[in-house]
Amino acid sequence: MNITKIIEKKKDNKELNKDEITYAVNAYVMGIISDAQMSSLLMAICINGMNLDETYFLTKAMIESGNVIDLSSIDGIKVDKHSTGGVGDKTSLVCLPIVAACGVNVAKLSGRGLGHTGGTIDKLESIKGFRSDLSEEEFIRQVKSIGIVDAEQTKQIVPADKKMYALRDVTGTTRSVPLIASSIMSKKLAAGADKIVLDVKTGSGALITDFEESMNLAKMMVMLGKMFNKKTIALITDMNEPLGDSIGNSLEVKEAIRTLSGIGNKRLTDLCLTIASYMVSMGKDISLKEAKKQVEDALTSKRALNKFKEFVSYQGGDINQIKESKYSYDILSNQDGYVRDINETMLAMECLSMGSGRINKDDTIKHGVGMIIKKHIGDYVSKGDVLVTVYYDDKKVNDNNVLKSFMLSSTKSEGFPLIYTVIE
């Protein structure tokens, strides 16, 4: 096999076969081909795409680049959940303990930040002492012990995705349906869960901004699940404004705790309750209506909050020691009006410039930096009102960019639906 010919073939928009895709994946993992060569192939895929067969072969090769966790020794149905990512998306931090508190085993491998969206592992690691690098034995033992685990894939679990994920983050190859689908589903399938719920974001702040493209991604992942004999459903959810009130790792963890305490942002809470209901319905094979009752009870009774604390403690974290930024300040509105739109991508990029994510592959995260959103779409703003509170260490945001992110109008906007459709 010749990697240059494979790159050129995909650059010419020709279909790659199973052997070519398998070779490219394995050769990259073994160091036979370079970051530059894999970047070229990823860019060609971004531009020309992949059909379902190619994406299946890519997903399969990525899974087979490492081990698959065998969860058969754990009683009951194991359910997994994944989001395609968006600005302020901390749903996993809320959904997983709710589902586990309902008695459904949750076994999840999560990723780090990708582009302007934050990663669940980066968020959890803002908790002092939290361990994400669990061995397979620890992963299984934790599910057996407390019914919930969320860890970073080890070197033995989908190593191809781990290397490609980091490379995509810094080479402008994040927005690609087949690359996103294969990355997510390889981790989901390698983690060994029986059933999978996917939260596919669509809108200006998502990795996939176009609704039809988001639908294609959801359908592709559901089909991949079926091809690997895993029951999979996908919810298409809105990402046209930040999800919840916070952007930034530690700030989002604190918001998740508030949500689990019953005092969180309503839009975030409603989405988490819906996703958790689908997970419990699948995990217990009960109606969605009955599952929602159990999910709401787990939240209001604080059993979900206690499960989150147990989960964090089990993985070495101290819930009372969440990393914080050194400084904070408010950015005030310079005009009156209703918030018609929010450019959350611009807000996320400003957070990224402070160190909330990675611009280069080996950058160190500053877990405490970010911002709290004080006004959402539909809210009325008077001149001088606080739009956001910025938390920073050594570099502030561009205040003008933040102000430009909030588009005001004389009339009130109805906002966007929370959930557009469900694909089963």
Q: What is the pLDDT of residues 308-365, one digit of tens each?
A: 999 999 999 999 999 999 999 999 999 999 999 999 999 999 999 999 987 776 778 8
* DSSP string for residues in 284-319: HT--HHHHHHHHHHHHHTTHHHHHHHHHHHHTT--T
Residue 169 in this model has a pLDDT that exceeds 80: no
Q: What are phi and psi of 76, to 5 degrees?
A: 85, 175
Out of 183, 186, 214, 281, pick the active-site residue: 183
Q: Is 168 a catalytic residue?
A: yes
DSSP 66: S
Q: In the predicted model, what is the mean pLDDT of residues 161-180?
A: 88
Options 161, 169, 238, 245, the catalytic residue: 161
98-112, 118-132, 149-163: segment of lowest average pLDDT: 149-163
Q: Using a CB cutoff of 8 Å and minimum separation of 24, what contacts does 362-368 make?
A: 365/113, 365/122, 365/125, 365/249, 366/325, 366/393, 367/122, 367/125, 367/126, 367/248, 367/249, 367/250, 367/323, 368/126, 368/248, 368/249, 368/250, 368/251, 368/323, 368/324, 368/325, 368/326, 368/393
183 classed as catalytic: yes
Q: What's the pLDDT score for residue 155?
A: 78
Choosing from 60, 78, 81, 168, which is the catalytic residue?
168
pLDDT surpassing 70 at residue 240: yes
Q: Give the confidence band of 162 by pLDDT, cuts at 50, 70, 90.
A: confident
pLDDT for res 384: 98
Element (H, E) at 163: helix 159-169
Taking 70 as the threshold, does the pLDDT of residue 116 lie above it?
no
Residue 19 has pLDDT above 80, yes or no: yes
**What pLDDT is attached to residue 100?**
98
261 is catalytic: no
Q: Which fold has domain 78-314?
A: Pyrimidine Nucleoside Phosphorylase; Chain A, domain 2 (3.40.1030)
**DSSP state, residue 31:** T
To the nearest whole percent, how much of the chain has pLDDT over 70? Answer: 99
Which fold is adopted by the domain 327-409?
Aldehyde Oxidoreductase; domain 3 (3.90.1170)
Looking at 19-33, 143-157, 257-271, which range is the least confident one?
143-157
Q: Which of 81, 82, 108, 112 is catalytic?
A: 82
